[in-house]
Structure 1
């Protein structure tokens, strides 16, 4: 496995791979890797000739400076895990390498960017589009792999790909969970022992809410989930929305969407966790 820190070197190496007729897959990450990331890497390895993983904590997608400062960073451990998973190239650039000058681009991402995370984290998705577009330009992957825990982010990246006319297949991959249901996240490392005890209530409550579909409207299910979780000590719901899986717009009757999905953000102490569940 090669660890690369510059765009120039990465492009040179991947140009040689393309000349040899090899298909390239990309797994963008912000590091602090866990089994969820590795599931993306292994799928990328199995479906492509070359797997590239990026490890870069992107400053432009953080609207909270404290969140950026405290985001876990474990580069040596990440590199070892990626090598074991079969990754061919690891791209670990500096901030100056990715942003030699300020990126002033503003993307037209449509209504998928205005709800949920877009409403509560202004500028976040534009930052995501900035860095992912830069990674796509550097790697020129045939496929790129993203976890469905960040369900809205996948819609954002697809909107960005359409806007820029890129030829890359976006591959969504299922959420990987702990045995107690907690969605794997790099931020889980910041949970206190008490927080780790109560955090699984998020997925448990979402799962239980599926049984209400036949008797309650989406708005009533939203209220039920929110009330139940806010009653758990240490948890505070920032938002819970039941939306159409494609448009990400809220629905008010189950018939309004062929694939309803519930998307949630919950503070567990000071740590912000997100999750989602299908109501299909």
Structure 2
């Protein structure tokens, strides 16, 4: 997906959304490193696709993926992965066990999946909270997700979160619509649900967090990343065809947004 990169700014927090094909190598490495620190080191998740490196990634980090990330002084401080629900996703892959049997998913032509939400822990920004007592980077990423959705005519995000993330979403003014729940790999409750991407929701998140409206910058030109360079950087032996990342075993574990 060659989506033209776009930068947002909310109350001094800069966020950018870039496609897998266009994201700079150094930025992708930082995102994968933050995910490894968040999910493997801190949360101790049993992610079967992780095979012991400085990066956490899976088969859904591919040309169909978009990455929304917060950055400060050229360093990534938070991130989330977005994929169109009409493409292969975790929801119709290893997370299909949580999909309800009595209800259908949202219409896939206007629905995207949001996964792998993570923040870096060793940054001064972690002490900056909004009026809703939410990390300023979290609020900026949420608002950027909604802004992107409105630009792309996305009506809904589908997510799987734990109860802590559900509380954060509610506190931020973006409550999840619960559709189903199940137990994660560690026996904790996880929730499958949707997040609306309406103008009313956008205004609610702005108001609850007392955040200034976005400044939006678009970038029409960006050099494509070299697959050889990425291969060497991640130091892995086997690549999937037409992808810049190694083949990985499908994951079956709990996820946060």
Please give the range of the TM-score, normalised by the shorter of the 2 chains. under 0.3
Normalising by structure 2, we get a TM-score of 0.26
Higher relative contact order (CA 8 A, sep 6+): 2
Between Structure 1 and Structure 2, which shows a larger proportion of helix residues?
A: 1
Normalising by structure 1, we get a TM-score of 0.25
Between Structure 1 and Structure 2, which shows a larger proportion of strand residues?
A: 2
Based on CA coordinates, which of the two structures has the bigger radius of gyration? Answer: 1
